[in-house]
Amino acid sequence: MSKIKEAFERIGGGGALVAYVMGGDPDPETSSRVIEAVERGGADIIEIGIPFSDPIADGKTIQEAGVRALKSGTKPEDVLEIASCVKVPVVLMTYYNIVHSQGLTRFLERARDKGVDGLVIPDLPLEETEEYRRAARELGVDAILLASPATQVRRMKEIAMKTSGFLYLVSLYGVTGQRAELASGIGKLIQFAKRFTNGRIPLCVGFGISKPEHVLRVVEKGAEGAIVGSAIVDRVALLAHGKEEVLQEVELYVHSLKEAARKGFRKRELRKPS
């Protein structure tokens, strides 16, 4: 059983929090301290981004974090070292150019050996994932696939069958980034995806989720987890100005998100017929 699956089973569907940080932002040493704060805050899974020069799925906040990390000299190897010290399950978010340039099997082997439990590769189309999924499965690494609001029935069914670890449901059109409000129709989108994931694979919702009330709502609507990234990264940006108290703020913020996930799950359970 993968560590990601164990994490979901451990909380019994009680609303997982997946927290994203950019590896090496603002530098590798400080990035490790950020992750420690996120762990103390109660994140169930930590998603670590590998900085890349052309991050097509990322909005302004995460793009800027990637620039800071690259300027500090962060390399994929540094991010793997950061990942090796994380106590909760780790998911790497990377673009396929990085994987391909190092060799698919070699990259997956090194990631596994450093304690990485899953990968998200947003620029790899479903039709081109077969070799990647096969290699990941053989090495015990979850290949986490994404679905979007535009995903139709046949494709959603296929993604739900082929993803492992969880299905990453993108809640809106566009790139990552904080939003004041959740996308309209998020409840219907979650229920649509749950038709294919329910009883098979956890469903986690990301993109545009930045407030505890956002987390509460997506879990209450049926998601097994919420993914929060840009709102954490925005706080980390202040570390570049030497504001040490930011680490405590990150911890408290993550704690508030996790509490919201628990509350959302409790509200969902109370609505179930007895």
- For the annotated catalytic residues, the residue numbers are 47, 58
- Picking from 84, 78, 136, the residue whose alpha carbon sits closest to that of residue 114 is 84
Could you write out the three-class secondary structure of 172-229? CCCCCCCCCCCCCCHHHHHHHHHHHHCCCCCEEEECCCCCHHHHHHHHHCCCCEEEEC
Bridge partner list, 46: 19, 90
CA gap 31, 25 in Å, rounded: 5
Structure tokens at 18: 């997946």
Residues 48 and 119: their CA atoms lie apart, in Å, by 9
